[in-house]
Amino acid sequence: MEQFFQQLTNGLAVGGIYALIALGYTMVYGVLKLINFAHGDLFTIGAYLGLTLLTSLALTDHVGGFLGVTILAVMVMGLVGIIGILLERIAYRPLRQSPRLSAVVSALGASIFFQNAIMLTYGAKFYVYPQDLLPVMPVNIFGLSIPLMRIIILAASVLMMIALYLFVQKTRIGTAIRAAAIDQGAARLMGIDVNFVIMIVFFIGPALGGAAGLMVGVYYGQINFTMGWIYGLKAFTAAILGGIGNIPGAMLGGLLLGVVEALGAAYISIAWKDAIAFFVLILILIVRPTGLLGERVAEKI
């Protein structure tokens, strides 16, 4: 039984990262109906930018671990957000009125471009974050010792999800985002600057991805230029699982995917872990064709 709970926390830690990346997928999808396949690579860029800033500014030496990493996170999120805005301007905006899959191919092109751009800028080797940026002290919860970093990751994911949810539900810009998500044409007629809304969305989504990249760097230590592909695919799976376009859905999907993977590895087979996760996804979609929290879309008549 202890192993079961241990695996549960293992799964939640992985799932927290998936959820954070999935939030970005879902934001962008909600408004543009675009699967941003370059999102995983924006996550990688976040990890690399974090490392560069960390080593060049030496913030953590001056202001201590927690504050340093927090400041760093804000900077990384800002920078990756700006890259996201540029990406939308250059690669997606010209395709907004085109068939949806055209933008998907453009996104795949952007993904290949980013991945290789990182490889050429930094080189193909693995990079490693400095050790022990944050204390690793284990926290004792119900007799399970859980590393502090995991709790921080999970808490940060949940906090960002809640903040995002409130932002979208309660603020004026959030209302505009929801309006643009439902009908861009009608939103424009209501005086909403749709381009501005999309810009905001393309700032927030990639920024969350960048933050996830930094977290992976700080916690797991090791980063390389291909890591965005696997995380991106898993996060996309998570977003769909929860019902894409739905913010709590992305969170739920991410955590569920992480737990399914951990329990699948523990009780069925490690080597088949990913296959099990995809199998569960397919089963869920067969039963609920629009994901767990996805809205039932009425068939047009």
Partner 1 sequence: MKNRTWLAYVVFFAVLAAAPLLLGRYWVDVLNNVGLYLILALSLNVILGYAGMFHMGHAAFYAVGAYTTAIINTHYGVPVLWVLPVSGLAAALFALVVARPIIHLRGDYLLIVTIGMVEIVRIALINNVFGLTGGANGIFGISRPEIFGFRLTQPVHFFYLIWSFAALTVLLFSLLENSRFGRALKYLKEDEVAAEGSGIHTARYKLAAFVLGAGWAGMCGTIFAAQMTIISPESFNFLESVRLFMIVILGGAGNIPGVILGSFLVMGLPELFRDFADARLLIFGLALMVMMIVRPQGLLPPRPRKHNLDSIRELS
Partner 2 sequence: MNKIAGWIAIFCLLFAPALFAADPVKIGLMGPMTGSWASEGQEMKQVLELLADEYNQQGGVLGRKIQILTQDDGGDPRTASLAANRLVSQKIIAVVGTYGSSITEATQNIYDEAGVVQIANGSTAIRLSEKGLKNFFRTCPRDDEQGKVATATIQKLGGKKVAILHDNTSYAKGLAEESRANLKTANVEVVFFDALTPGERDYNAILTKLKGADPDFVFFTGYYPEAGLLLRQKKEMGWDVPFMGGDAVNNPTLVETAGAAAAQGFYFLSPPLPKDLDTPEAKSFVEAFTKKHGHAPKSIYPVLAGDGFRVLVEAIKATDSVEAEKISAYLKSSLKDFPGLTGTLAFDDKGDRVGEVYRVYKVDGEGQFVLEP
Compare residues 267 and 279 and give the one whose CB is closer to partner 1: 279
In contact, 74 and 241? CB cutoff 8 Å: no
Q: Which two tokens stand for residue 251?
A: 């969170």
In DSSP terms, 127 is beta-bridged to 223
> What value does the CA radius of gyration of the chain take, rounded to a whole number of Å?
19
When the beta carbons of 152 and 263 are compared against partner 1, the nearer one is 263
- Shortest Å, Cβ 124 to partner 2: 4
List 63, 136, 155, 163, residue binding partner 2 (CB under 8 A): 136
Could you give the string, one character per residue 18-47, with x where binding to partner 1 holds by CB under 8 A and - elsewhere? -----------x-----x------------
* 299 contacts partner 1 (rule: CB under 8 A): yes
**Residues in contact with partner 2, shown as a per-residue x/- string from 224 to 243 under the rule CB under 8 A:** x-xx--x-------------
Taking CB under 8 A as the rule, does residue 128 contact partner 2? Answer: yes
**53/276 with CB nearer partner 2:** 276
- Work out how close the CB of 267 gets to partner 2 at its nearest, in angstroms, rounded to a whole number: 9
Closest CB 167 distance from partner 2, rounded Å: 29
H helices, E strands: number in the chain = 12, 4
φ, ψ dihedrals at 145, nearest 5°? -95, 120
Q: Give the residue with the Cβ less far from partner 2, 17 or 164.
A: 17
Query: Which span (76-84, 178-186, 208-216, 266-274) binds partner 1, by CB under 8 A?
Result: 266-274
1-9, 19-27, 33-41, 235-243 -> range binding partner 2 (CB under 8 A): 1-9
What the block records as the tokens of 94 is 């010209």
Query: What is the C-alpha to C-alpha distance for residues 220 and 8, in angstroms, rounded to an integer?
Result: 18
User: By CB under 8 A, is residue 65 in contact with partner 2?
Assistant: no
Binding residue for partner 2, selected from 86, 98, 222, 282, defined by CB under 8 A: 222
d(C-alpha 123, C-alpha 117), whole Å: 9
What is the smallest separation between the CB atom of 140 and partner 2, expressed in angstroms? Answer: 12
Burial 187-226, CB ≥16 within 10 A → b, else e: beeeebebeebbbbbbbbbbbbbbbbbbbbbbbeeebbbe
Strand partners, 140: 145
Residue 129 makes contact with partner 1 by CB under 8 A? no
Rounded CA separation 98/72 (Å): 38
- Alpha carbon distance 209, 220 (integer Å): 16
Expressed in angstroms, the distance from the first to the final Cα of the chain is 52
Distance CA 234, CA 97 (A): 28
Q: Which of 57, 91, 266, 280 binds partner 2 (CB under 8 A)?
A: 266
Check binding of 125 to partner 2 (CB under 8 A): yes
Q: Alpha-carbon distance 44 to 39, whole Å?
A: 9
Question: Interface with partner 2 by CB under 8 A: which residues?
Answer: 3, 6-7, 10-11, 13-14, 17, 116, 119, 123-126, 128, 131-132, 136, 138, 145, 147, 216, 220-222, 224, 226-227, 230, 261-262, 265-266, 269-271, 273-274
